[in-house]
């Protein structure tokens, strides 16, 4: 018989945060109930620290795993607790290899508090964060970074097509993923760093196993934690491959799919 989980890990965008940028009251209530019952809550996202205000608006609890696993972050005191970053030499190697294999590529890098981009890289979310772009991103690759962002500037490739190319070109160098099938953007982390790897590490420190954990996600950057958790749900409106990595399917986020499943789980015995 299934028991109530000891840990709930969830992605944000497209999973509990709607594409129009809100978390529903039902979802907020479900997480508050879970927390009150002693369940550890992990918000596991590709977002950097500067995009965590939304969590502070709704919650006073929860562990932050940001930048696809590159940071363990105290959301409420705005402090990086631990980080697993890409060394400078690997950053430079990534840029060199992808320039050869994806001709219209452009780059940005995210550090703990900074976002740097090439002038060719057109940001869709971080507009105005870096008003002094570099001609070549290699000029900004002077310290370890949380994440490299690589865009097909002329949108000649989809994110899935870029991922297929980059996984071959960068094998053994870094971890490559994406979080949006409708964009032309890759998200690149240090080798071996992923949402699943960091979540497993932090859960282990709490004495919580994969079998005692559940996870929710919708895109390739979530696949590692969907595979790790003993029970996991892919969002019905997420990436078509997500269901191959999850154990179950949740209703779309517009229908409060995560809240629906949490409400059922909280009825289970300890």
Which residues in the chain belong to E strands, given as ranges? 7-10, 40-44, 63-66, 71-74, 79-83, 105-110, 115-117, 147-152, 174-177, 185-190, 213-217, 231-235, 248-250
Q: What is the pLDDT averaged over residues 18-39?
A: 92
Residue 2 lies inside a defined structural domain of this protein: no
Q: Does residue 154 share a domain with residue 233?
A: no
- Judge whether residue 66 has pLDDT over 90: yes
Indicate whether 109 and 230 sit together in one domain: no
Same domain, 135 and 256: no
At which of 170, 190, 210 does a domain end?
A: 190
Is residue 257 very low, low, confident or very high in pLDDT (cuts 50, 70, 90)? Answer: very high
CB 135 within 8 A of CB 118: yes
Co-location of 75 and 198 in the same domain: yes
Query: pLDDT value at position 183?
Result: 84
Q: Are residues 56 and 27 in the same domain?
A: yes
Are residue 149 and residue 176 in the same domain, yes or no? yes
Burial class (CB in 10 A: 0-12, 13-18, 19+), 2: exposed
| Residue span of the structural domain in which 227 resides | 7-84+194-265
Per-residue confidence band for 112, with pLDDT thresholds at 50, 70 and 90: confident
What is the chain's mean pLDDT, rounded? 94
174-212: per-residue pLDDT in tens? 999 999 877 899 999 999 999 999 999 999 999 999 999
What pLDDT is recorded for position 1? 64
- The model's confidence at residue 114, banded by pLDDT at 50, 70 and 90, is confident
**Lowest-pLDDT choice from 129-133, 152-156, 175-179:** 129-133
Residue 76 belongs to a domain: yes
DSSP bridge partners of 235: 250
Res 145 pLDDT > 60: yes
On whether both 76 and 202 belong to a single domain, the answer is: yes
Instruction: Say whether both 137 and 178 belong to one domain.
Output: yes
Report the pLDDT value the prediction gives residue 164, as an integer from 0 to 100.
95
Boundary (domain end) residue, out of 190, 216, 244? 190
In a domain, 48, yes or no: yes
Tokens (6 digits) for 83: 């980080």
- Assess if residue 256 is contained within a domain: yes
Q: State how many domains the chain has.
A: 2
Q: What number is the average pLDDT over the span 16-36?
A: 92
78, 141: one domain: no
pLDDT at residue 168 greater than cutoff 90: yes
Secondary element (H or E) of residue 93: helix 88-101
Query: What is the pairing mode between strands 185-190 and 174-177?
Result: antiparallel
pLDDT of 169 above 60: yes
Evaluate whether residue 149 is within a structural domain.
yes
Provide, rounded to the nearest whole percent, the portion of the chain with pLDDT above 70.
97
Q: Containing H/E element for 91?
A: helix 88-101
Output the domain CATH number for residue 124. Answer: 3.30.1240.10
Q: Which long-range contacts (CB under 8 A, 24 or more apart) does 164-169 make?
A: 165/101, 165/102, 166/98, 166/101, 166/102, 169/97, 169/98, 169/100, 169/101
Q: Are residues 166 and 207 in the same domain?
A: no
Write the CATH number for 39.
Answer: 3.40.50.1000
Quick: pLDDT tens for 47-65: 999 989 989 999 999 999 9
Same domain (yes/no): 185, 210: no
Which of 190, 212, 231 terminates a domain? The answer is: 190
Average pLDDT over residues 146-169: 94
**Residue-level pLDDT at 150:** 96
User: What span, in angstroms and rounded, lies between the C-alpha atoms of 24 and 255?
Assistant: 9
């Amino acid at each position: 018989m299934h028991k109530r989980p000891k840990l709930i890990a969830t992605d944000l965008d497209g999973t509990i945060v709607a594409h129009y940028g809100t978390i529903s009251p039902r979802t907020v209530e479900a997480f508050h109930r879970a927390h009150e019952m002693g369940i550890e809550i992990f918000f596991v996202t590709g977002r950097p620290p500067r995009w965590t205000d939304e969590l502070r608006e709704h919650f006073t609890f929860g562990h932050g795993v940001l930048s696809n696993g590159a940071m363990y972050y105290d959301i409420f005191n705005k402090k990086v607790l631990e980080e697993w970053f890409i060394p400078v030499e690997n950053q430079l190697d990534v840029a060199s290899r992808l320039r050869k294999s994806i001709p219209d590529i452009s780059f940005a890098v995210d550090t703990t508090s900074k976002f740097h981009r090439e002038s060719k890289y057109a940001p869709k979310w971080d507009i105005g964060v870096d008003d002094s772009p570099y001609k070549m991103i290699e000029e900004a690759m002077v310290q370890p970074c949380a994440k490299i962002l690589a865009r097909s500037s002329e949108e000649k490739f989809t994110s899935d097509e870029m991922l297929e190319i980059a996984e071959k070109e960068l094998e053994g160098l870094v971890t490559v993923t994406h979080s949006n099938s409708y964009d032309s953007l890759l998200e690149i982390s240090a080798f071996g760093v992923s949402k699943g790897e960091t979540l497993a590490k932090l859960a282990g420190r709490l004495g919580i196993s994969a079998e005692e954990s559940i996870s929710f996600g919708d895109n390739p950057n979530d696949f590692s934690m969907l595979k790790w958790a003993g029970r996991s749900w892919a969002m019905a409106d997420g990436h078509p491959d997500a269901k191959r990595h999850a154990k179950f399917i949740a209703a779309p986020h517009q229908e409060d799919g995560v809240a629906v499943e949490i409400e059922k789980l909280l009825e289970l015995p300890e």
